[in-house]
Every structure is written in structure tokens, then in C-alpha cells.
Amino acid sequence: MRIFVAGGAGYIGSCTTEYLLNHGHEVTVYDALLNGHRTAVDPRAHFIQGNLADATTLDDAIATAKPEGIIHFAAFIEVGESMKLPGKYFANNVGNGINLAEAAVKHGVRKIVFSSTAAVYGMPKNIPITEAEVKQPINAYGESKLMFEKILGWFHALKGLQYTALRYFNAAGATEKYGEDHSPETHLIPLIMQAAEGKREKISVFGTDYDTPDGTCIRDYIHVLDLAQAHLLALENHDSGAFNLGSGQGHSVKAVIDTVRAVTGKDFKVEYAERRPGDPARLISDSSAARATLGWKPQFEDIESIVASAWKWRCAHPKGYGDK
Ligand code: UFG
């Protein structure tokens, strides 16, 4: 297949691009490099630097690439920032995404696979979370993703564009070549690793009084290559709808810290801090629909192997991609 990957220079986009190429597909990456890294783009992919906001460049890129499918990773992802700059999030994650859907329709592309998030559920009542759970985002980031899922639903109904929205839980881990290098970093596992590397004085645990066995928040960490697998299956085997993607296992912040200590053999300072506003106590996915309908078979279900892959990548890339 010829596949157009918007946002293919970011963390999940770069790992998915490599996965698609390894499975014999032809990939064009379209990325503005605002947060992504040029060296994170597999050299076997075609690369076009461009922003989804620039509808003309985007249209030309799709006309050149002639994709059969599009994967859309090109969004802003920081929950905290989205609460300070909601306009930035709605303009890019919703408005600019529409340019991509319009270009897909204009050029007769059959299908879009869209990076959505567990943040569409807000504070879920039922754990594990199925796709039927009430969707009530508690931050502008989650709302922007839910809005774009709905927009894709309308493009499907009115223009016949197929779409799969993949609601990721906590993406983690790395491939041999590509990994997580955000600036600033806000995600738990890379932050703990910075402490293990001595690049950060300590790791702060945000809240110890949650209604969980050890009082810290529980999340469902899913390996980036398992996410990549689901994107290809969605392009190949599915018409339209949304799926949760998680391992189905919950790990507390304290448990993740212990795992990083065990995997890296390093010790570091841990500070017990106040809750971070907007954190649900527990997010665990029920991903049985993705398994049954897409034929998704995650390969890395234990947190140790996820953390070990991330650590291996960091040891091989101590400065990350070194460009930001
Ligand atoms: N945490 C800490 N200390 C830190 C950073 C995080 O204790 O320094 C805690 C958080 O409070 C949370 C957990 O670690 O309980 C995971 O936090 P992350 O920031 O790594 O991830 P989130 O669960 O907040 O969010 C991630 C993605 C979102 C996505 C969500 C879906 O960043 O885009 O998963 O589950 F929507």
C-alpha cells in the first residue's frame, strides 16, 4: 500500500513509519517538524516538510504521494498546555485536521486512521473502559480529539471516507532505532529515566492519596510497536469506527518507578508531591474489540519489556535526537 503519514516525525509516527516500511509498504511522511525530528524519519520513507495548516502544500503532497491510506498523528498532545492555550489545540487538532480530511476526499483516498486517546473518556465510571463508556473529556486536548473523531464520522456518512479512530492509553517503549524524545518532556516513563540517568534531580509522584492500592494513579502502558501494528490492521481490515488500545494491565506510578529501578539498576530520588489537576485515579483499557475486529495481537504485554525497550533506546541515544 502507499501510505501517507501525517506527523510521521513524532514519537508514535516515527515508530509506525518504520513498522509499515518493514511490512513492505511505501510511506510518505508529512511533518512540520514543530515537535518532530527530521532524523526520526526512516530514510526509506519519502519526506515532505509541511504543516496541515497549509492546505496548498498538503494538497500538493497528497497529489504527489497518491496514497491509498492516510494515518494522522499530526496533533498537539500536551494536556496541561491545552488548558492554557485551548485555541492552539482546537485550531490544529480540529481545524487543520479538516484540511487533511478534505484533501483525502478530493484525491479519492479510501481511508484515514486517526490517533485518538483515552482522554476522550475524561473520568470514566467503569474500569476496564470499553468504547461504550461515556465520553466526557475533562481537558481541551481530549475534547479536540473527540471533536475530530466526530468530524471523521460525518465525512464517513456524507463523503464515504472510511476512518478508524484508535484511542491510545499510555504509549511507551521504543524500537531499536526510534524512541520518545519530547521537549519539554511531561510523560512518566521518560521522566523517571531522566532521573535514573542523573539528568534530573528527582522524580515527583503526583498524588499519593488516590483510591488505589498504593495511593498513586494507575495507567495502562502500551508498547509503541503494538500501537503500530493496530494502525496497519485498521488500514487493511476495517471500515469505520473507534477502538481502545491498551494492554489491559494497570500499573501504579510507584510500580512504574520500581520497574525502572529494576530494569536500569539505577537508584534516584523520589519526591511525593501534590496531585496534578485533572488526573483520573485509574485508566485501564478493555481492548477486546480491537482484538476481535481488527485481529490485533499485542506482543509486549508486560511493563518490564516495555520499560527495557525504552531504556535500551535511551542508552543508545543519550541525547535523544539531539536537535531540540
Ligand atoms: N506522573 C507523575 N509524575 C510525573 C509525571 C507523571 O506522578 O512527573 C503521573 C501522572 O500524574 C499520571 C501518570 O504518571 O498519573 C502518567 O502520566 P503521563 O503524563 O505520563 O500520562 P497521562 O496518563 O497523563 O496521559 C497520557 C498521554 C495523554 C493521553 C493519556 C491517555 O500523555 O495524551 O495518556 O491515557 F491522553
Pocket residues: Cβ below 6 A from ligand 1: 77, 79, 117-119, 169-170, 186-188, 191, 203-206, 217, 219, 253, 276, 279, 283
The whole-number pLDDT of residue 301 equals 76
Same domain, 156 and 276: no
Same domain, 202 and 101: no
**Closest atom of ligand 1 to CA, residue 192:** 8
Instruction: Classify residue 207: in a domain, yes or no.
Output: yes
Same domain, 206 and 114: no
Q: Verify whether residue 141 is a known catalytic residue.
A: yes
Active-site residue identified among 30, 121, 141, 178? 141
CA 104 to ligand 1 centroid distance, Å: 33
The whole-number pLDDT of residue 277 equals 85
**Which three-class secondary structure string do you get for the chain?**
CEEEEECCCCHHHHHHHHHHHHCCCEEEEEECCCCCCHHHCCCCCEEEECCCCCHHHHHHHHHHHCCCEEEECCCCCCHHHHHHCHHHHHHHHHHHHHHHHHHHHHCCCCEEEEEEEHHHHCCCCCCCECCCCCCCCCCHHHHHHHHHHHHHHHHHHHHCCEEEEEEECEEECCCCCCCCCCCCCCCHHHHHHHHHCCCCCEEEEECCCCCCCCCCCEECEEEHHHHHHHHHHHHHHCCCEEEEECCCCCEEHHHHHHHHHHHHCCCCEEEEECCCCCCCCECCECCHHHHHHHCCCCCCCCHHHHHHHHHHHHHHCCCCCCCC
Looking up residue 279, the CATH number of its domain turns out to be 3.90.25.10
CA angle 297, 44, 185 (to 5 degrees): 65
Report how far apart, in Å, the C-alpha atoms of 131 and of each of 113, 147, 228, 306, 314 are: 16, 16, 20, 24, 34
Q: How many domains does the chain have?
A: 2
Same domain, 225 and 110: yes
Instruction: Classify residue 20: in a domain, yes or no.
Output: yes
CA 1 to ligand 1 centroid distance, Å: 34
Question: Whole domain around residue 78: which residue ranges?
Answer: 2-172+221-245
* ipTM of the prediction: 0.96
The whole-number pLDDT of residue 142 equals 97
pTM of this structure: 0.97
Same domain, 12 and 134: yes
Residue with the smallest CA separation from ligand 1 atom 6 is 188
Same domain, 31 and 139: yes
The whole-number pLDDT of residue 23 equals 98
**Closest atom of ligand 1 to CA, residue 186:** 19
Same domain, 210 and 89: no
> Closest Cα to residue 190, out of 306, 32, 37?
306
Residue 259's Cβ-side half-sphere holds a number of Cα atoms within 13 Å equal to 20
CA 107 to ligand 1 centroid distance, Å: 38
* Contact between 149 and 165 (Cβ < 8 Å): yes
Residue with the smallest CA separation from ligand 1 atom 35 is 169
Instruction: Classify residue 321: in a domain, yes or no.
Output: no
Looking up residue 55, the CATH number of its domain turns out to be 3.40.50.720
Instruction: Classify residue 181: in a domain, yes or no.
Output: no
Instruction: Classify residue 122: in a domain, yes or no.
Output: yes
The whole-number pLDDT of residue 323 equals 87
Residue 47's Cβ-side half-sphere holds a number of Cα atoms within 13 Å equal to 20
Same domain, 213 and 236: no
Mutate to test the pocket of ligand 1, among 145, 170, 279 (most ligand atoms within 8 A of CB): 170
Instruction: Classify residue 127: in a domain, yes or no.
Output: yes
Same domain, 108 and 192: no
Same domain, 102 and 230: yes
Same domain, 261 and 227: no
Instruction: Classify residue 38: in a domain, yes or no.
Output: yes
Same domain, 257 and 166: no
**Closest atom of ligand 1 to CA, residue 145:** 36
pLDDT along the chain (324 residues), means of 10: 98 98 98 98 98 98 98 96 96 98 98 98 97 97 98 98 98 98 94 97 98 98 98 96 98 98 98 92 97 97 95 96 88
Instruction: Classify residue 180: in a domain, yes or no.
Output: no
